[in-house]
Chain A
Amino acid sequence: MVNMRGRIRIAVAASMLIGSFLVGFVYRDLQAGAGRQVLSELKTMPADIATAAKEKVAQNSVELQPVETYSSVIAYVDSNYYGTKPKPKQLTYAAIRGMLATLGDRYTRFLDPVEHKEMSEENRGDFEGIGAELDTKDGRIFIKKTMADSPALRANLKSKDVILKVDDKMIQGMDITDVVKLIRGPRNTKVRLTIKREDTPQPFDVELTRDVIPFVMVESRMEDTVNKIGYVTLRQFTEKSDADVFMAIKELDAQGAKALIFDLRGNPGGLLDAAVSVGSRFVQDGDIVIIQNRGGQRSAIPIEPDKRDPIRRPVVVLIDRNTASAAEIVSGAIQDHKAGTLIGTESFGKGLVQTIINLDDGSAVAITTAKYLTPNGHEVTPTQKIKPDITVDPSDDDIKNENDVQLKRAVQYLQERLGVTQAKTNGEKS
């Protein structure tokens, strides 16, 4: 029977797409967190292409039933295969993956229990670990920052503490992502770090009890302190996104923000519900998105009126080629309702909605169940993307020199809208 125990969760899946990991990658590494999914996407990608390349047209009229065929072949392999015995469930998972690959839709995919857990953590916006951001320099891995109210902070770990061992395992020469994997683990379990601190002659051990740590998905600041132009970036749409974005805007309001830059560059998407909520912070009336399910039925999702922001201010949304899925929903809604100006480059072009359904053994399937359209009825596809109102495409030199021309253009645009002179804040921040 179909096991739909647990809730069916509508998610505009937060898959890191080809190319999009670059942006995602950098921030993820800084966080003792989710580097793994990015890397695993990277690894699975070639196989994905190989599978796509292999797909051939059926030319035989005799039909096969997937379940019956699977059962027969697995029984046959079980009793006849001469090579190394496959791990339990390996064949079943591989069968499901192989089956889904024939749909030619990379978003419809199987998540084994580990991948499912990681995705759930991401959607929830937290993970289990010690809450330290790691960084590396000259082959040494050190603590960059401890997060608020985290085991790392409570254990008095300090910025620049160099990690020598994790649970007595030397980490010299290891990749930072592998070290992160060692440190992460279920809550209430313990991990021991051997630390070398600058002013302390002898290395010492610190034992920490892992806990649930929120991902930092939102960051904000007053970008132009003179003209009061606030800046909020959202990295992914999780269950916490709306509250976090709301808090960030309120803080900027308290500092007297007159205009807002909302940065959705590199945002691969996330939960549909979160997109609707966040969109409602910017759009005054009407719909955020139109969902078109199988059979072509359309249903519009209106704004959540309680989230409507009474303050009217000029808004710029920054988008780029890695702005995908839920992030395209929000930018599309803001554009259609003229609630802000889009600056940057064309978006990724993913107008599909996945439903994640839990299966009996802790695994799950993400199935593309619907398409979405912007409130004005525009489909979003790889050839029909969200187009910026003002195109700003950084050159290779800009990227190399970390010259954020898109952000600069946004500041300049808002300064013009606010009717202030731009000379004061152009160039380096004072």
Chain B
Amino acid sequence: MQTRPPTKVATANMQASAMLKLTPESAPVILQPAKEKDGAERDLVGSVVRLLRSYYVDTVSKEKETEMARGAVRGMLESLDDPDTRFLEPAERKLIVDAGNGRFHGIGAIFALRREKVDKLDETKLVVVTPMPGSPAEKAGILPGDSVAFVDNKWIITHDPFKEPQFESMLKAMRNRDVDALAYQKAYEAAFKKLKDGMSIMDALESVTSKATGDLTIKVERAGEDKPIEIKLKCRDTFVDPIITKQTDRGVAYLRVTQFSRSAPASFAAAMKRAQSAQAKALILDLRNNPGGLLDSAAAIASSITGGGVIASIQTKNARKLLKEPVSKRLTIPVVVLINEGTASVAELVAGTLKESKAAVLFGSKTFGDGLLQTPLILKDGSAAVLTSGKMRTAKGVDFNGKGISPDREVKSGGIENDIQRDEAVKYLLAKLGKA
């Protein structure tokens, strides 16, 4: 377990919750020996291990034991039935570390698992949080909120086919003997085949986020579309800088934060300095399609605009604490923050806190709505147990989890070619500066 700085909420290891958002690693969390009270249960697990060593039909090798240990962690975390709490194999964790360093594989997007109830059916969907700038996903027109339904024509197992209403009613009819065995068997086989031919959601996630090269065909479901949309992509690695800037135009500086990585605050400060030299009198801070990142990085950047103070309120299992930054000079120029449904996690927090402190005006559309924090427990073999460890609220305590942050001014997206949201922000700021 990590040691906590005494005066501040320990945020170094806290991550945004949407998947693949872990940033460069902090010091590995060190394993603690079990507490005394776990004795009996520990012995239960110990008994099973010893029985397997002595009696299992095949020899239990050291490698097998490592797999068993990972299986134990995976089992425990899955039993919590929380899509954000999960076990990461060493290879999976590497993808996340890479993503935190701005290196994306596969189609170059950030995903989240989202639980939904559709027609009484529990679905877990693989949802695109953000296509990264310049990635195959962005170029192919994948949008935040799209949910991946098929990968290379394989159905992603988003729900248990045996819980589909058709099958459930067949099962009930069978138990009450209103249908013959054959009809039931057919329904059973159909559901079984669907499951067998399907791809697990974790395998699907892996194939869209890890492939270095090659073609991939996916089908996505999109709000407002009746049928899944087929999209063909060429996978390749995408490198993304944490801060992307455009030349200051008529006194309006433009900074896009692609994610709150460890290096983001330094890049942000440097970009702000360049904007100042270019005589910037107003700022557009673009947090659209920003999936989040490190809470510390987000706090540092927010603080450089608000002039320090409370940035967030963090609720952990046993405590609720305020995340405070030292008082600094408040940014005095007008700021517009651009947000959309791809603005998630700590990016939403920043938007919400800037809005509350009146340090900025929000333009765009409502954010993703993910206010949960995760902490990874890194095991010595390179795997990790990622655990939902808390919830963040804005400085004034607004809970945006599941709700999102609404803009002050709703501006619809004009697509990649036509950035209406940005144009509106420019127009607004120029008016403020008296240059309309």
Contact = CB atoms under 8 A, between A and B. Distances in A.
Interface of A: 1-3, 18, 22, 25-26, 29, 35, 42-43, 45-46, 49-50, 53-54, 56, 58-60, 62-77, 79-84, 86, 89-103, 105, 108, 110, 135-137, 139, 175-177, 293-294, 352, 355, 357, 359-361, 363, 365, 367-371, 396, 399-400
A72 B317 CA distance: 18
Interface centre among A18, A81, A368 (most CB of B within 10 A): A81
Nearest to A46: B160
Contact of B195 (A46, A86, A95): A46
Contact of B162 (A43, A59, A81): A43
B387 A56 contact: no
B57 interface: yes
A235 to B, nearest CB: 16
B67 A102 contact: yes
B183 to A, nearest CB: 8
Interface stretch (B174-182, B225-233, B272-280, B327-335): B174-182
A396 B76 CA distance: 43
Nearest to A93: B79
A62 B80 CA distance: 27
A107 to B, nearest CB: 10
B38 to A, nearest CB: 6
A280 to B, nearest CB: 26
Given A46-B162, A64-B69, 13 more contacts: A64-B65, A66-B45, A66-B72, A72-B33, A73-B73, A80-B389, A81-B389, A83-B388, A94-B75, A96-B44, A103-B64, A359-B47, A371-B57
B370 to A, nearest CB: 14
Given A66-B72, A175-B176, A399-B181, A80 B45 contact: no
B317 A98 contact: no
Interface in B381-411: 381-383, 385, 387-391
A312 to B, nearest CB: 37
Nearest to B34: A71
B74 interface: yes
A303 to B, nearest CB: 25
Interface size class of B (residues with CB under 8 A): 35 or more
B380 interface: yes
Given A46-B195, A369-B56, A56 B44 contact: no
B73 A95 contact: yes
7 contacts: A22-B185, A64-B69, A74-B76, A79-B1, A100-B48, A175-B175, A368-B57
A101 B75 CA distance: 9
Given A75-B34, A80-B317, A64 B381 contact: yes
B46 interface: yes
Interface centre among A66, A367, A400 (most CB of B within 10 A): A66
Interface of B: 1, 29, 31-35, 38, 40-52, 54-59, 62-80, 82, 85, 89-91, 157, 160-162, 172, 174-177, 180-182, 184-185, 188, 192, 195-196, 199-200, 202-203, 315-317, 372-373, 375, 377, 379-383, 385, 387-391
B390 A73 contact: no
A64 B195 contact: no
Given A95-B73, A371-B57, A63 B90 contact: no
Contacts of B82: 83
A361 B44 contact: yes
A367 B48 CA distance: 9
A20 to B, nearest CB: 12
Nearest to A369: B55
A115 to B, nearest CB: 15
Contacts of A49: 195-196
A68 B62 contact: no
A42 B172 CA distance: 14
Contact of B387 (A22, A60, A81): A81
Given A65-B65, A86-B79, A98-B74, A70 B45 contact: yes
B89 A56 contact: yes
Given A81-B85, A370-B57, A64 B70 contact: yes
